[in-house]
Amino acid sequence: MAKGYWVSVYPATTDPEKLTAYDQLAGQAVRAAGGRLLSRGTRVVAREAGTTHRAVLIEFDSLEQAVAAYESEAYQKALTALPDGFQRDFRIIEGID
């Protein structure tokens, strides 16, 4: 079965304290849902049209597990901790089997 991944890119961080609160809540929710943090990229080498903004990669055993984790009550609670006007490019993708 193909794995599922959360891929997030954070173009700007306007309130680092609130982002830390989100990180703590989201980390608990992700682990409870079976997710594994693979990278919280503070070092990014960008090519082509890429950017060097913070990037996060989380792995799940399946796409369905990744979607369920996002929709979980615990993760939805974590989302409320994000600062107002916060922006990120967030995707749930299926890996190659």
Calculate what percentage of the chain has a pLDDT beyond 70. 99
Which of the four pLDDT bands, split at 50, 70 and 90, describes residue 75? very high
The rounded distance, in Å, linking the Cα atoms of 5 and 3 is: 7
Whole-model pTM: value is 0.88
Instruction: Give mean pLDDT, residues 41-66.
Output: 88
Q: Which domain holds residue 70?
A: 4-94
| CA 45-9-63 angle, 5° bins | 110
In this model, does residue 72 exceed pLDDT 80? yes
Residue with the larger pLDDT of the pair 76 and 46: 76
Please state the domain count of the chain: 1
Given the DSSP bridges, would you call strands 4-10 and 54-60 parallel, antiparallel or unpaired?
antiparallel
pLDDT of residue 33: 98
Q: Give the CATH number, domain containing residue 70.
A: 3.30.70.100
